[in-house]
Structure 1
């Protein structure tokens, strides 16, 4: 059978709904994207079930490996110590240095935390002071604006009272102003 015939026969089987079409999707190695999609789909099927999300590893926890504060082998000042005593001495010295280093790290972290909190508090106080200053400026501006409105209303009320007493209307007053302007232009 030729390759063209084989190709035609396999395409006919797929089109006719043969065994290869009913077997479902082909199994193959999943790409990372497909694997992640599959996992997310599985999680979304049971949306009410809580999901465990692991914590991100942070700093090394030095407190879990703190050196012991007691010493088992107390070395004396006797001369002629054996060859194994040097290793005991070195291990004790290493433990002591580790203990001192942990104490220094702890005090350094505590000092940095206090300095950080002091800086934050200073910035917060400066911001609050600036905010209060701006707030008082706004209040003064509002007060002046309201005082100006009140004084203008009083002036307008006084003018309208004066105009009514003189028997002039606003229209007549406007005509009088325009005629005064015209006279001033003629004089120039």
Structure 2
């Protein structure tokens, strides 16, 4: 009789777990009011994904740290010849174009500074690596010389002992 209940329990295990999760989320013991629907929705989504483990998941791309700006236009169509005929919106248009250009220049300068830092770091790293390799080579030569003299002296001792 114990066997039949244990097999029955194992057969109903997913259903029991679902009831257990739903009762704990509906009791409000988790994180306060209003969050249980979001938790249930997320759990359902995870369960759906776990049913199809072999199916690849498309993850959204990570947003760039840099703001996306357009390159300056090649041809500006609404060029004013003088400020005498300027309308009320022309200053705002000018101000927006100036802001975009200043942002573009600022980003170019930041890229140049970042590149300079990367180059100096790389140069310093290469210098330290070269110094480390030279020191290692020097120590290797000393070690080989010491081992060579040890083997030479031990071989002469063996020759002396045998005679």
1:77 — aligned with what?
A: 82
Pair 1:41–1:124, CA change in 2 (3 A): farther
Matched, 1:65 2:69: yes
Distance, in Å, in 1 between the alignment partners of 2:128 and 2:88 is 61
Alignment root-mean-square deviation, CA: 3.4
**Aligned match for 2:112, one of 107, 112, 119:** 107
TM-score of the superposed pair, with normalisation by structure 1: 0.54
Q: Secondary structure at the match of 2:84?
A: coil
CA shift at 1:87, angstroms?
1.1
Higher Cα Rg, which structure: 1
For residues 7-26 of structure 1, give each alpha carbon's deviation from its aligned partner in whole angstroms, at most 9, with x where no partner exists: xxxxxxxxxxxxxxxx9535
CA shift at 1:141, angstroms?
1.2
TM-score of the superposed pair, with normalisation by structure 2: 0.61
1:172 — aligned with what?
A: none
2:158 — aligned with what?
A: 153
CA shift at 1:143, angstroms?
0.6
Q: Secondary structure at the match of 1:82?
A: coil
Unmatched 5+ stretches in structure 1? 1-22, 162-188
Distance, in Å, in 1 between the alignment partners of 2:156 and 2:48 is 74
**Aligned match for 1:129, one of 126, 130, 134:** 134
